[in-house]
């Protein structure tokens, strides 16, 4: 299988979640066992030698490959969620979105200074959510932080919104 095959298995939905947005749906990759395996293999190869100790999945599509990759890497899995979804004490970071303001939280005891963290989500558009997750993760003072997306929408230049030293990689660039 190839990256072209993964791309051909993606679905696009016009005007979702709001009019004027073309939504790239990764659930079609998740429901296809061969695509899911290929995606997991690609992600594992990208990070197997980085010393990752925690994978942070961004709510909610980042949970799927994030958890799978954590198991494969022998790392722990941490959920980054919207307010009110995590039961214990949290740290949080707020950010602006294309159509509003939001906040993301992680449990206070989820990451330590000894961790090497991989942040994972499905799609890089403008980068607002992940940039907040990146700033939030940095509050824990881990040894290192990597950022990964399944898809990057290059025309939106979301990568440009991260610090120059951010270690950001994507599987598919569209």
Q: Are residues 62 and 121 in contact, defined by beta-carbon separation less than 8 angstroms? A: yes
Q: Is 98 a catalytic residue?
A: yes
Answer whether residue 39 is part of any domain. no
Q: How is 78-126 classified by DSSP, letter by letter?
A: EEEB-TT--SS-EEEEEEEETTEEEEEEEETTS--TT-EEEEEEEEESS
pLDDT band at 99 (very low <50, low <70, confident <90, very high): low
Catalytic entry in 61, 81, 93, 152: 61
Answer whether residue 131 is part of any domain. yes
pLDDT in tens, 59-79: 999 999 999 999 999 999 999
* CATH code for the domain of 61: 3.40.50.2020
Q: Is 93 a catalytic residue?
A: no
Answer whether residue 21 is part of any domain. no
pLDDT in tens, 29-52: 999 999 999 999 999 999 999 999
Answer whether residue 119 is part of any domain. yes
SS3 state at 74: coil
pLDDT band at 18 (very low <50, low <70, confident <90, very high): confident
Q: Model-level pTM?
A: 0.95
pLDDT in tens, 121-173: 999 999 999 999 999 999 999 999 999 999 999 999 999 999 999 999 999 99
Catalytic entry in 4, 59, 98, 138: 98
Cα(23)–Cα(38) distance, integer angstroms = 22
Q: Which domain holds residue 155?
A: 50-173
Other C-beta atoms lying within 10 Å of the C-beta of residue 109? 12
Question: How many structural domains is the chain composed of?
Answer: 1
Answer whether residue 28 is part of any domain. no
């Amino acid at each position: 299988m190839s990256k072209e095959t993964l791309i051909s298995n993606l679905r696009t939905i016009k005007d979702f979640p709001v009019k004027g947005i073309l939504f790239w749906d990764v659930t079609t990759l998740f429901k296809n066992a061969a695509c899911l395996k290929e995606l997991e293999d690609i992600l594992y190869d990208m990070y197997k030698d980085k010393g990752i100790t925690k994978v942070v999945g961004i709510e909610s599509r980042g949970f799927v490959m994030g958890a799978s990759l954590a198991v494969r890497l022998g790392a722990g899995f941490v959920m980054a969620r919207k307010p009110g979804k995590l039961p214990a004490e949290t740290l949080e970071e707020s950010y602006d979105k294309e159509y509003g303001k939001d906040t993301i939280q992680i449990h206070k005891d989820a990451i330590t200074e000894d961790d090497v963290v991989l942040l994972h989500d499905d799609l890089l558009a403008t980068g607002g959510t992940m940039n907040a997750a990146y700033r939030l993760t940095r509050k824990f003072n881990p040894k290192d932080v990597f950022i990964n997306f399944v898809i990057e929408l290059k025309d939106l230049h979301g990568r440009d919104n991260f610090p120059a030293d951010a270690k950001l990689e994507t599987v598919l660039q569209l």
